[in-house]
Amino acid sequence: MVKEIDRVKKLLEKGKLNEALTKIDQLDKRTDLSNDDKIEILLLKSTIFMKLGEFELSNDILGEFLGKKNIDPLHTVDALIIKAENLDRQAEYDEGLEIVSEGEELLKQLTQIEQKEISKRQSILLRRKGGIYSMKGDLDSALNLTQQSLKLAREIKDQSLISGALNNIGIIFQEKGDNDNALDYFRQSLAIAQEIGKKYDLAFPLGNIGIIYRRKGDFTKALENFQQSLAIYQEIGDKRGISVLLFFIGETYAQKGELDDALDHYEQSIVPMEEIGDKFFLGNTLLGIGEVHRQRGDFTQANDYFKRSLVLFEEIGNNIHISENVLLLLLTAINNNSFSQAKNFLGRLQQINDLEDNLIVSQYFRLAHAIILKNSTRMSGKVKSQEILHDLVNEKSFSYQITFHAMLSLCELLVDELKLFGEEEVQKQVKSLLNRINVIAFEQHASPLIVQTLLLQAKFSLVEGNAQQANKLLDKARVTANESGLELLAVNVSNEQENLYRELDKWKELFHRNAPLVERLDMAQLNDYISNALDMVRTRKN
């Protein structure tokens, strides 16, 4: 029987979950099982269902198991570990922390067990706790706990645990915005997973490497890694893995501006997410679909999806995700000219900010406040909006999307001021701000925004009377779009160059007669292009 159970474990390691389930069902029907055999079978069956995303079935088995009397304490810890992972995958973070703590306390009482077995489980529980803290937004605590997990895994030389801990540390650095460190940890994790040949362990770092490439603007490599990871999950039959990778692929197409492909992949991912009850990724997918509809100008549909997403994030109880969601609802309300509704959403953000001592939440609230004031009919409101945006632009941000949104909103206000007063100092501020946006976009490898800011800089060069510089900037934008696989943006830039050639005589005429600055700004339609760039900037982290 030991050999038969070991065969099931080998199937699990190779990612052959359905084959493992068939085998364990056959073993479960045998009449010669010892009590230990029955316990092993129950734990293995629960693990298989968890990996398949069948959390309810997994929990039912665990409930039956934990309800038995005279269970070996070490096996009880194993059951708690599986239960904690089930809860984590369902975004039940507070309950998950309670289960982890229960497991840790039980391990302290096991003084007669071999230390290697204790350390193995301590490492798993520390990593699980670190993952929960990461999802709750406490990244420093998450990093500390996961580093402790890695230390223990290395002490007992468990390669699978080492690979998992390295992958989770990479996720934390990714959340911190440190893409290079994140990529290094993901590659270390992948190398170990390849060495030990566990397919399930391979899928995680491959998907995360894809996220880093997407952030760096290399959409081709991002999609390659996502497809490799997706293929593993499809082979294994892991519903959650399949749905998450479809979501990642949808996000990538959304960033490329290919909204039909984005929507197609988002919608494919929804069914398995709903089946397994993954609130976190289902919430994010609904947000993604809402953003696609918002970019298409269908604000009613966008609003519906944002509200459905908000319900899920409220159930999870993570104020960072709730704030992101409420900000998107506020922006959609403004798109719909529903300013009273937008102010209600601002009030909700203020309530969260008052309760939560968190810089990210604070930045979402202040950005929303500035946007409301920016749309005010009173000059005092616009002045206050500028002050808030100046602060946001010049402070450290955990999400460069917030910085971009603040910069572009500030640029929009400065262009309005330039139209009214035509001051040379304001003109310099607009030019400087556009340069700063471009520099940060290059630093973050945010290819779509690089193209948009180059386009904005080209338009501003025309306002200043430098058509030659405008054409050079458009050339650079077109090359960047083509190199990044941004086909639609490349076409848009080519169209802009054609427009420049057609309208060159008009621009020359404006400068020969020394046309007022406001006329040149209107001719360039600079505010419209800033609005387009703002629509492209996604306010949530990718």
Average pLDDT, the chain: 88
Supply the pLDDT for residue 15.
Answer: 66
Q: pLDDT (tens digit, 9 = 90+) per residue, 4-36?
A: 888 888 777 666 778 888 998 898 888 888 888
**Is there a domain that residue 202 lies in?**
no
**Is there a domain that residue 151 lies in?**
no
The stretches in the chain having pLDDT less than 50 are none
**Is there a domain that residue 91 lies in?**
no
- CA dist., res. 75 & res. 36, Å (int): 10
**Is there a domain that residue 508 lies in?**
yes
Supply the pLDDT for residue 474.
Answer: 95
Nearest C-alpha neighbor of 391 from the set 416, 355, 367: 367
First to last CA, the chain: 48
- CA dist., res. 415 & res. 421, Å (int): 10
- CA dist., res. 254 & res. 448, Å (int): 11
Supply the pLDDT for residue 67.
Answer: 72
Polymer length in residues for the chain: 542
Tokens of 62: 């665990």
Q: pLDDT (tens digit, 9 = 90+) per residue, 366-415?
A: 999 999 999 888 889 999 999 999 999 888 765 677 888 999 999 999 99
Counting the structural domains of the chain, the total is 1
Instruction: Please say whether the beta carbons of 279 and 325 come within 8 A.
Output: no
Tokens of 429: 């501020």
Cβ density class 129-153: b for 16+ within 10 Å, e for less:
bbbbbbbbbebebbbebbebbbebb
Torsion of CA 5, 8, 10, 11, to 10 degrees: 180
**Is there a domain that residue 90 lies in?**
no
Supply the pLDDT for residue 190.
Answer: 95
**Is there a domain that residue 66 lies in?**
no
- CA dist., res. 206 & res. 208, Å (int): 5
**Is there a domain that residue 25 lies in?**
no
Query: What is the extent of the structural domain holding 514?
Result: 399-536
**Is there a domain that residue 134 lies in?**
no
Helix (H/G/I), strand (E/B), else coil: 24:
helix
498, with CB counted inside 10 A (0-12, 13-18, 19+), is exposed
